[in-house]
Amino acid sequence: MKLFHIKYHLLIIVLLISSLLSQNISAETKIAILDFELKDLTLKPRIQSELKRTASIKPLLEAELEKANYVIINIETAKQKMASSGIGYLFDHHDVAAKLGRESGADFILVGRLHKPSFLFAYMMGHLIRTNDGKLIGNFISEAKGPNIKLTIKTVESLAVKIDKALNNRYTPPPPKKY
């Protein structure tokens, strides 16, 4: 009879532990990624190829984070523009960005910028903000040397690694391709 009680208690403990573990595994981290803004300081700013590269960052980053099972929350560009008082506003005002993310159901919001001080390189920058309190969780910068799409993709992967490291640490970037 005593052995039965020990086995019963062990079974209860195992069930409780497995229940807690399954809740952690199934917990979803919801992240909203805003459209990246271009801050072009070159002598020939805002050329079509840079606008195109800047527009490609958000969907590339969303695809990378989805591979790590993050739930991507879409915030329409119109809502993003309404919340902003101009270029760079949401990047500098974490409280406003957090409110926008919170209203959309996201746990975190990433406000991004492509900062281009030179024709030779650009910086992909992201502010990761927790939406429930407006706290800046991460200020990430990844350097892109050249406008080549392959380099842009690698820079996005680098940014995804940094974001994931601040959150759940479950993203594995793809191995380098041999060309």
Q: What is the pTM of this model?
A: 0.82
Residues 101 and 104: their CA atoms lie apart, in Å, by: 5
SS3 state of residue 152: helix
Q: How far apart are CA 144 and CA 111, in angstroms?
A: 18
Domain boundaries, the chain: 28-166
137-161 pLDDT, tens digit each: 999 999 999 888 889 999 999 999 9
pLDDT in tens, 54-88: 999 999 999 999 999 999 999 999 999 999 988 89
Percent of the chain at pLDDT exceeding 70: 84
Give the span between the Cα atoms of 64 and 57, in whole angstroms.
11
Fold of 28-166: Rossmann fold (3.40.50)
Q: Per-residue pLDDT for 8 more than 90?
A: no
Handedness of CA 31, 36, 39, 40 (dihedral sign): positive
Query: What's the CA gap between 120 and 142, in Å, rounded?
Result: 14
